[in-house]
Amino acid sequence: MSASSIVELQAVAVGYDRHALLSGIDLQIERGSFIGLLGINGSGKTTLLKTIAGILPPVRGQVVFHPPAVLGYVPQRDQLDSVYIFSTFEVALMGVCGRVGAGRRIPAEERERVHECLRQTGADSFARQRFSELSGGQKQRVLLARALAAQADFLLLDEPTAGIDAAATQAIMELLVRLHRERGLTILMVNHDLSVVRQTAQHIVWIQKGKLVQGPVGELLRREKIEELLHLQFS
């Protein structure tokens, strides 16, 4: 593995119940990169993301991390709406539990760290509101604050702009670009909006018929290349 990479997938197959949706995956993610993960609905984007995040075990192969690597996984928002009955601050505070230990008293300095993360993501003004009452864009800010509170250096984002309006989408993407630039974060983002990916990501991983097509944004998101990939997908 390259010393500059944060994770490498070696002959990996991903899926559920030992049934592979994607197989033969060789992928190296460079530290500090911003990657857009694309593909049609049902192509396996979320499954691949969850496998890299360690939520799902690979069906075959190895996912090898090059330390240091602290992951911050931000799932699709609708997976959380029925779960989080807590306040905004309490949701963000969950980010420190892995470091402090579940059930242990949270030190004052860790609580202050969470407040700072909420400020950095623009979520401090609604820190006392119940998470379930927030708008889609506000929830994404809180979940990003939770990941930052965990001191994550590798963010894995599953459709962070799904179901939110254009203004909120723009704000979230600007926040991600700023965090990527200022903190040197590695970001792997599933997103169905090609215009959003074009404005933010540096590199593309496109899932096509169970295989990965990789390349720089400027190459893979040219109109003729997109048309070629979609034609091959449905041919």
In a domain? residue 128: yes
Per-residue pLDDT reduced to its tens digit, 7-51: 999 999 999 988 999 999 999 999 999 999 999 888 999 999 999
User: pLDDT at position 233, please?
Assistant: 59
Domain span at residue 131 reads: 84-152
Judged by average pLDDT, the poorest of 64-68, 126-130, 176-180 is 64-68
Give yes or no for residue 56 having a pLDDT over 80: yes
pLDDT of residue 105: 84
Pairing outcome for strands 34-38 and 203-208: parallel
DSSP output for the chain: --TTEEEEEEEEEEEETTEEEEEEEEEEEETT-EEEEE--TTSSHHHHHHHHHTSS--SEEEEEE-SS--EEEE--GGGTTTT--SBHHHHHHGGGHHHH-TTSPPPHHHHHHHHHHHHHTT-GGGTTSBGGGS-HHHHHHHHHHHHHHTT-SEEEEESTTTT--HHHHHHHHHHHHHHHHHH--EEEEE-S-HHHHHHH-SEEEEEETTEEEEEEHHHHTSHHHHHHHHHHHH-
Predicted local distance difference test score (pLDDT) of residue 79: 67
Question: What pairs with residue 127 in β-bridges?
Answer: none
Report yes or no on 118 lying in a domain. yes
- Whether 89 is in a domain gets the answer yes
Residue in 38, 15, 13 with CA at minimum distance from that of residue 205:
38
- Number of compact structural domains in the chain: 1
* Residue 203 within a domain: no
| Residue 126 lies inside a defined structural domain of this protein | yes
Q: What is the pLDDT of residues 145-190, one digit of tens each?
A: 999 999 999 999 999 988 888 999 999 999 999 999 999 999 999 9
- Domain membership of residue 131 (yes or no) is yes
Assign 202 a pLDDT band (cuts: 50, 70, 90).
very high
Predicted model pTM: 0.90
pLDDT top residue among 233 and 26: 26
Position 183 in a domain: no
Residue 215, in any domain of the structure: no
Q: How confident is the model at residue 163, as a pLDDT?
A: 84
Given a cut of 60, whether residue 234 has pLDDT beyond it is: no
pLDDT greater at residue 155 or residue 193: 155
